[in-house]
Amino acid sequence: MTLPAPVSRRSFVVASVGAALALGVSSQAQAQAQAHARGRGPFGRYGSPSARLDERTLYVHPGGLGDHTTVQAAVNAASGSGYTLVIAPGTYRETVAVSAARTEMTWIGASGEARDVVVVYDNAAGTPKPGGGTYGTTGSATTLVQADGFTARDLTFANDWLRAEHPGISGTQAVAIKVQGDRSAFVGCRFLGHQDTLYADSMALGTFARQYYRDCYVEGDVDFVFGRATAVYESCHFRTLIRDDLTGAPYGFVFAPSTAGANPRGYLVTGGRISSEAPDAYYKLARPWVPSSDTTARPMLTVRGTRMSAGIDAVEPYTNMSSGFPWQDQRFAEYRNAGPGAVVSVPENRPQLTSSEARSHTREAYLGDWTPWKGC
């Protein structure tokens, strides 16, 4: 599958049907125009309400041509296991939650282009809630997936909350998606945000949720791929953003795993690339997150076969989140990376795997008896 093109979160609406909505064109008309351009109906090759693929396939269309006009309404209607949601081109401005009971659910972007189907909202951790208090990091998520066996293809998950528009809010974490279920797979998807974009986590400390991301695009600035899941990122593109609110380095950190100490597998990044809008060396590759709720965590990140641009600080690619938990005590390692951001000039700052060690850092080793890549 072709890697999704790197469209900035600031301009993703322009690159999607949201541009037409901003100009006053109806979502229904825009979705029909997208479909006409591709020579298919609004649901592409995935049938329609009048030609349903099966009884557990539901169709979402913003202008009313499907079973539901919002993604959450379709999720609510999928009251059991094994449902498929075919989502027509459109910008769906809503928050969506997939409960643990809705297992083996699949979401498909009908056009086959992730930029056409956007699920977006703009809560941040510090956003006031209607009933008092604030949302917190988890509550800021545009999409929350707690069910096992969730799969998404060709969709954009976004949080378009911006610091500059909310100078009075200090809780600037703004999650595009939080994924907690085991056997969660994302193929050809985009994840757009700034701080805490992609929260790859689990339901509980003792639960080692496995997740697989292939041919995906993720962008952000601070800890924008984070959490305690066992997650494989294969052939994915990570992009660090420019920051107008800071005058010096570092602007942020790509990864912030919080792997449980008992979990032998954390984050594996393989065959990908990391690019940057920022000046050279303005981003760190990672820092370990040891949450106050789990001070026994031993964050784990392995990056192999990945090209890093000059935006990554090659001399000191890792740093601490807390002085009490130095990155050197965690499980960070690299293997056969390339590009100016991967140059090993200070060996003690860039732990490298041996060829023998690298054999245990593969998607097969991390995902065990689950083989999502065979069905992708």
Q: Between the CA of residue 321 and those of 180, 257, 351, what are the distances in Å?
A: 23, 11, 18
Q: DSSP letters along 280-344, please? A: TT-EEEE-----TT-TT---EEEEES-EE-TTB-SSS-B--SSTTS-GGGSEEEEES-BSGGG--
Closest CA to 90 of 67, 112, 109: 109
329 is catalytic: no
CA pair distance 96, 102, nearest whole angstrom: 13
Closest CA to 37 of 133, 111, 140: 111
Judge whether 196 and 215 are in contact, CB under 8 Å: no
The residue from 196, 201, 215, 221 that is catalytic is 196
Helices (runs of H) and strands (runs of E) counted in the chain = 6, 25
The residue from 67, 221, 223, 313 that is catalytic is 223
Q: Between the CA of residue 140 and those of 56, 98, 115, what are the distances in Å?
A: 30, 15, 22
Residue 370 CB-density burial (10 A; 0-12 exposed, 13-18 middle, 19+ buried): middle
Q: Is 47 helix (H, G, I), strand (E, B) or coil?
A: coil
CA pair distance 88, 82, nearest whole angstrom: 20
Amino acid at 240: T
223 is catalytic: yes
Residue with tokens 């689990």: 202
Residue 280 CB-density burial (10 A; 0-12 exposed, 13-18 middle, 19+ buried): middle
CA pair distance 268, 270, nearest whole angstrom: 6
What lies within 8 Å, CB to CB, of 266 at 6+ separation is 228, 230, 231, 257, 259, 299, 300, 301, 302, 331
Amino acid at 108: I
CA pair distance 106, 345, nearest whole angstrom: 45
Catalytic residues, by residue number, are 196, 223
